[in-house]
Structure 1
Amino acid sequence: MTMLTGSGETRLKRYVRPLAVGVALGALLSTPVLAGTAPAPPVAASQSAPAERQSARPNIVVILLDDVGFAASATFGGAVRTPALDGLAVSGITYNRFHTTSVCSPTRAALLTGRNAHRVGVGTVIEYPYPGYDWAWPKSTVSVARVLLDNGYSTAAFGKWHNTPSAEISPVGPFDRWPTGLGFQHFYGFMQGEDSQWEPLLYRDTTAVDAPKPAKGDYHFGTDITNEAIGWLQTQASLAPDKPYFLYYAAGGAHAPHHVGQEWIDKYRGRFDSGWDAYREEVFARQKRMGLIPRDTVLTPRPAELPAWNTLSADQKRLYARQMEVFAGFLEHTDHEIGRLLNRVRQGPNGKNTLVFYIVGDNGASAEGAIDGSDVGLANIIYGLPSTVGEQLSHVDQLGSKLYDNHYSAGWAWATGTPFRWMKRVASFFGGTRNPLVISWPDRIKGDARPRNQFAAANDIAPTIYEAAGIRFPDAVDGVAQQPFDGVRRGRAVAPPHPIFRGIREPRHLSGWLDRDRPAFGAVGSGVQARFLEGSLGTL
């Protein structure tokens, strides 16, 4: 069995030149990579811009996937077809050193505020508060939605939220830490960390609502939130075509349960029969050909805790391969729905003046299904309820349906994190914290297939948005002094040049790629030797 090559490799073959670690790539706002004029002039927060200024400002779309490893999508060398991500990469630029926090809620807090998650009171997911990590979301760390709203943007969020303390998720609130209390004029989706894609607990703004019943076929959360987002865009286009908007789309995919229609699963039947070791080797070679990783990168070994594929029984292989087929179908369906959304974005007012961030995962792939995977999901994670291989095989063709809270084997989480070690929840290795990023802005960015390799992180997104929109970040909001951004120099009225839009030449940022002479790959905080971005050596 040969793994999928994927359309991403075809796209890159024509353009890619070998990456040289240590070379700072072109700045997004100051080099020929850009087309068009300068960003909109800055406007102080809480001061609406004139109508003519508004139309010059970019629309902003932030797309966030869930629990997707670096090597899952074809765009980044994986086996899952992601044509919407491919298309965005062709028109924009890709980043192979973008970082998350290794778990859902903290990444989202950093993304939406521009601060380290710790400043927002977020050290883990909302379901497990601790002293100091109680999800306080202090008013000194205002969200990007609020700042954009105060500067004349329409704002809306669709999909998974996972940023409100669990005790406050109820029809009686309090609602100040719900999306609509944090700067979003509209929200539609679910509030917890995961939910059924077939039968989710939905909220519209702060009101619990039933899922709509499609006129044809089955309901699916991914399709529903895309329809809602497109409807919201159409309303904006009809009633406020000159007003810029901020749309935050946080997909349920590909977090467990891996729920998707059979027609999507069937596309991958037999594709993963050769197992996770072969997948990793093939993807690794493809990533090198595509220029996504340096040519001298060495593939990290399989952890001793994970079995080699050739040691598994026939039943294990059959089950685990099927689990990956379901995941792959789910991820492709998620990208398909994002493609529908992006088509509408580009067709709408100022479609080409829309800055899109497509973040492929809020952390690495999830190993929470353990070795055998699971068909009881949270019951396995929280209560340790087992799902044996035999039990899952008894209904293997129904995995992905509304009957099961299904998850794949941890071996696939490791494989789809190629070339890195480990996966979600393991913040000390890049398998948990490095995710692909693609940015597209047709009016300002010329497509460039060479990946950017400067260090960037989730808390860089908000400052980058302010810079692109020409917004001065406020010193205070509602009378509360604002904490500075993390990793960004303050002292200028306009957000300064930021890592996502600039090449970085600061030696504190590590390349993160394994050098043949330094076998401790990607470890953080363990005293290993690694190569700095500038090529010098140091101890982290």
Structure 2
Amino acid sequence: MNKYKLTNEGKKVKQADRAGCQPVSSTIAVVCRLVACSMLLLLCRTAVADDRPNVVLIMADDMGYSDIGCYGGEIETPNIDALANRGLRFTQFYNTARCCPTRAAFLTGLHQHMTGIGAMTETPKGPRDDKRPAYQGFLNRNCVTMAEVLGANGYHTYMAGKWHLGYHGKEKWPRQRGFDRFYGSIAGATSYFKPQRGRGVTLDNENLDPPTDPDYYTTDAFTDYALRFIEEQKDDKPFFLYLAYTAPHWPLHAREEDIAKYVGKYRDIGWDKLRQQRLAKQKELGIVDESTQLSMRDEGARPWSDLTDKQKQQLDYRMAVYAAMVDRMDQNIGRVVALLEERGELDNTLLMFLSDNGGCAEPYKDLGGGKFEDINNPNQSGAISYGQGWANASNTPFRKFKVFSHEGGISTPLVVHWPAGLKTKAGTITSHPSQLIDLMPTVLDVTGTQYPASFADHEIHPIEGNSLQPLLRGKEQPKSEWMFWEHSGHSAVRNGKYKALKPRKEDWQLYDLSTDRGETNNLASEMPDRVKSMAARWASWATSHQVK
């Protein structure tokens, strides 16, 4: 509601009070005053409700820490960069290392095991054959989604993009987990040009036929529907939009005009020089300290100089397509910002951008996955990818990538933009360690929404994260004393500046993240007592969270 209109309404109430509450009798006068006060109180409450911010959460899929410009990348991302330059950037924000567990933690404020997605979610081929509640493969009813709690507090709730939190049975789909409207892929990854069959697209609760428009592209379509949902809203209530792009997750599918901007750009640089180039820019931007050193090139990638000319040419093209996918996503984020600005709602919209995990090396080949001729084939999907060497570069300056609990797997860029509510200086960069489970309490905090003890007759696990609102307000905020990770047998625990890391089938390692986020200097043999105590603390957390 317009504030000026509200003020006028308030004046009319007061005038009515003066005109209509003459002392015909003291009783009538009292009643008139009570009615007038009640009306004023109702109007004030409405004003507060109307002042609540919109919330727009945008998630990239399999995008590395250093891919976007404001985190050191050479890919053209002017819209995300502009949000960062006007907002707040996090340099130590953590995800869960993989797509669906991240989405589970992101939407619920709980570690993924407590939601039922301790590993992976269901696929179109069938439900997961795992009877353990923490690994059932779809969101359980002992968690509540951000959409469910915001919807109960008067927010409109919209989603476009990748769901990946339950497939078999519509009770597991977005509309049944709090979203008023949905357009996207229930299954997750799909063809960008022609999503079809079990990996097709869905509108609300109806699966759609494969698109016939030769100009169709999922990144554009997801944005089209997100904007449509906002524009079709009939009232002035605040809204929550979750825009979950599949870009730049494989398969390598991009528009030719976007690819043309990058072909040849990586041919003479290669992944070794690209990592050096990105690190230099990160230092210039203040994303990392001047003393930061590159981790060693991943052992799965050869030196660029060892490759043949044909291999370099094809890898240049693979990286060009990947860059084009990120570029196109940024263009679409620009469309979202433009609409909010046009509607006069950008200032009071809490907008966050992040990635679900580090850059993806699947299927762990330095020459990339899939046949070269399958790139940009609408009828081909699967792991048609850019390769282990480029994934290593995407996560500059860290080790490893998606799935692993190394910094390269769990570190994500996080950009926060909110002119009306963010009290930090424009362009501020914070090194405050934070994680996915902090986003739910933050959103509830700024929207005045209460986290429930139960929902739809189900008891709900207590929320686990910490609200970042003090940080957004420019105030000091205590750091989380402990952080825990586990995915696919890769485990980690952080306590202050120390991180204990246990890759699958290996011993515990120890790193001082204040000087070594590249995890190059293992301190385990020098500090065995610390390793033992941190491993014990992780084991206790794992037991309480049903980690296998």
CA contact (8 A) 1:420 1:522 kept: no
Deviations 1:231-274 (A, max 9, x none): 111112xx11x200000000010100121111100101211112
Per-residue CA deviation, residues 37-91 of structure 1 (Å, 9 max, x unaligned), is: xxxxxxxxxxxx9533321110000000000010111111012111110111122
- How far apart in 2 are the matches of 1:269 and 1:527? 40
Is 1:509–1:532's contact at 8 Å kept on the other side of the alignment?
A: no
* Contact 1:99 1:434 (C-alpha < 8 Å) held by counterparts: yes
Alpha-carbon contact 1:288-1:295 (below 8 Å) kept: yes
Task: List per-residue Cα deviations over 1:202-245 (Å, max 9, x = no partner).
Answer: 1111111135555xx61111111111111111112xx11x2000
Counterpart of 1:508 in structure 2 is 481
SS state at 2:326 partner: helix
Contact 2:266 / 2:316 at 8 angstroms: preserved in 1?
yes
Task: State how 1:13-52 maps to structure 2 within 5 Å.
Answer: 51-52=46-47
Measure the CA separation in 2 of the matches of 1:442 and 1:413: 34
1:425 and 2:403 matched? yes
> Contact 2:251/2:375 (CA < 8 Å) preserved in 1?
no
- In structure 1, which of residues 468, 480, 499 is the aligned counterpart of residue 446 of structure 2? 468
Contact 1:414–1:423 (CA under 8 A) maintained in structure 2: yes
In 2, the alpha carbon distance for the partners of 1:149 and 1:99 equals 27
Please report the TM-score for the alignment, with normalisation by the length of structure 1.
Answer: 0.77
Q: Give the Cα separation in 2 of the matches to 1:476 and 1:90.
A: 40
1:407 and 2:385 are equivalent in the alignment? yes
CA gap of 1:521–1:53, structure 2 versus 1, over 3 A, is closer
Distance 2:452 2:331 in 1: 38
Does residue 154 in structure 1 map to residue 156 in structure 2? yes
1:355-386 alpha-carbon deviations (Å, 9 max, x no partner): 00111x2001111143255564xxxxxxxxxx
Task: Say which SS state the counterpart of residue 297 (structure 2) adopts.
Answer: coil
User: Contact 1:100/1:435 (CA < 8 Å) preserved in 2?
Assistant: yes
Match of 2:118 in 1: 123
Q: Deviations over 1:484-538 (max 9, x none)?
A: 11144xxxxxx7967776644448369xxxxxxxxx99762434141569xxx96
2:125 counterpart residue number: none
User: For 1:531 and 1:183, how far apart are their aligned partners in 2?
Assistant: 38
Cα distance in 1, alignment partners of residues 463 and 294 from structure 2:
35
1:435 aligns with 2:412: yes
Q: Name the structure 1 match of 2:232.
A: 235
The residue correspondences of 1:55-74 to structure 2 (distance < 5 A) are 55-74=50-69
Report if the CA contact (8 A) 2:352-2:416 is conserved: yes
Taking structure 1 as reference, are residues 258 and 432 closer, same or farther at Cα in structure 2, changes over 3 Å only?
A: same
SS in 1 for 2:58: strand
After superposition, residues 76-155 of structure 1 pair within 5 angstroms as 76-127=71-122, 130-132=130-132, 133-155=135-157
* Structure 1 residues 425-465: Cα deviation after superposition (integer angstroms, max 9, x where no partner): 112x0111101000011112255323111111111111100
1:256 and 2:256 equivalent? Answer: no
> Runs of 5+ in structure 1 lacking a partner?
1-48, 169-173, 377-386, 489-494, 511-519
Provide the rounded CA distance (Å) in 1 between the counterparts of 2:138 and 2:461.
Answer: 14
Query: What corresponds to 2:433 in structure 1?
Result: 455
Residue in structure 2 matching 1:524, options 488, 495, 501? 501
Q: AA paired with 2:253?
A: H
Offset of residue 137 of structure 1: 2.3
CA distance in 2, matches of 1:137, 1:264: 36
C-alpha distance in structure 2 between counterparts of 1:284 and 1:471, whole Å: 40
**Paired residue for 2:202?**
203
Q: Distance in 2 between matches of 1:295 and 1:521?
A: 20
1:218 has 2:215 as partner: yes
Task: Report percent identity of matched pairs.
Answer: 30
Mapped partners of 1:307, 1:464: distance in 2:
43
Do the aligned residues in 2 keep the contact of 1:261 with 1:401 (CA within 8 Å)? Answer: no
3-state SS, counterpart of residue 358 of structure 1: strand
Distance, in Å, in 1 between the alignment partners of 2:47 and 2:316 is 55
Decide whether the 8 Å contact of 2:108 with 2:144 is kept in 1: yes
Shift of 1:162: 0.4
8 A Cα contact 1:77 1:286, kept in partner: yes
Partner SS, residue 176 of structure 1: helix
Q: Write the letter of the residue equivalent to 2:249.
A: H
| Native 8 Å contact 1:84 1:339 kept in 2 | yes
**Are 2:92 and 2:432, in contact at CA under 8 Å, matched by a contact in 1?**
yes
Matched, 1:268 2:262: yes
Please tell me whether the aligned partners of residues 301 and 366 of structure 2 are also in contact (alpha carbons under 8 angstroms).
Answer: no
In structure 2, the residue corresponding to 1:54 is in which secondary structure? helix
Matches of 1:148 and 1:202, distance apart in 2 = 25
Find the counterpart in structure 2 of residue 38 from structure 1. none
Residue identity opposite 1:195 in structure 2: T
Residues of 2 paired with 1:66 and 1:275: CA distance? 23
CA distance in 2, matches of 1:416, 1:129: 34
Distance 2:293 2:499 in 1: 11
- 2:12 maps to none
Distance 1:452 1:410, change over 3 A: same
TM-score, reference length from structure 2: 0.76
- For 1:336 and 1:69, the matched residues in 2 are separated by 18
Residue 442 of structure 1 aligns with an amino acid whose one-letter code is P
- Secondary structure of residue in 1 paired with 2:351: strand
Q: Is the 8 A contact 1:365 1:424 kept in 2?
A: yes
Q: Which structure is richer in relative contact order (CA contacts within 8 A, separation 6 or more)?
A: 1
Question: Residues 184-217 of structure 1, C-alpha deviation per residue, up to 9 Å, x if partnerless?
Answer: 0111001112000001111111111135555xx6
Distance in 2, matches of 1:527 and 1:212, equals 49
> Are the aligned partners of 2:181 and 2:229 in contact in 1 as well (CA < 8 Å)?
no
The AA in structure 1 aligned to 2:401 is M
Amino acid at match of 2:227: I
Q: How does 1:161-176 map to 2 (within 5 A)?
A: 161-164=163-166, 166=167, 168=168, 174-176=169-171
Q: Is the 8 A contact 1:454 1:503 kept in 2?
A: no
State the AA in 2 paired with 1:435: T
Contact 1:62–1:247 (CA under 8 A) maintained in structure 2: yes
Taking the aligned partners of 1:119 and 1:509, their CA distance within structure 2 comes to 17
Would you say the 8 A contact 1:145–1:182 is kept in 2? yes
Cα deviation, 1:395-439, whole Å, max 9, x if unaligned, reads 4xx733425443111110011100100000112x01111010000
Q: Secondary structure at the match of 2:446?
A: helix
Name the SS for the 1:61 alignment partner: strand
Aligned twin of 1:348: 343
Q: CA RMSD in A?
A: 2.5
CA contact under 8 A between 1:112 and 1:144: conserved in structure 2?
yes
1:219 is paired with a residue whose SS is coil
**Higher helix content, 1 or 2:** 2
Q: How many residues align?
A: 442
The one-letter code matched in structure 2 to 1:480 is H
> Contact 1:68–1:366 at 8 Å: present in 2 too?
yes
CA deviation vs aligned residue, 1:117-173 (integer Å, no higher than 9, x gap): 010011222145534200352322111100000000000110111011x4x1xxxxx
Q: Max radius of gyration: which structure?
A: 2
- Which residue in the other structure is 2:48 paired with? 53
Q: Distance in 2 between matches of 1:521 and 1:423?
A: 20
- 1:123 aligned counterpart, secondary structure: coil
CA contact (8 A) 1:300 1:521 kept: no
Measured after TM superposition, the shift of residue 477 of structure 1 is 1.5
Q: Which amino acid aligns with 2:148?
A: R
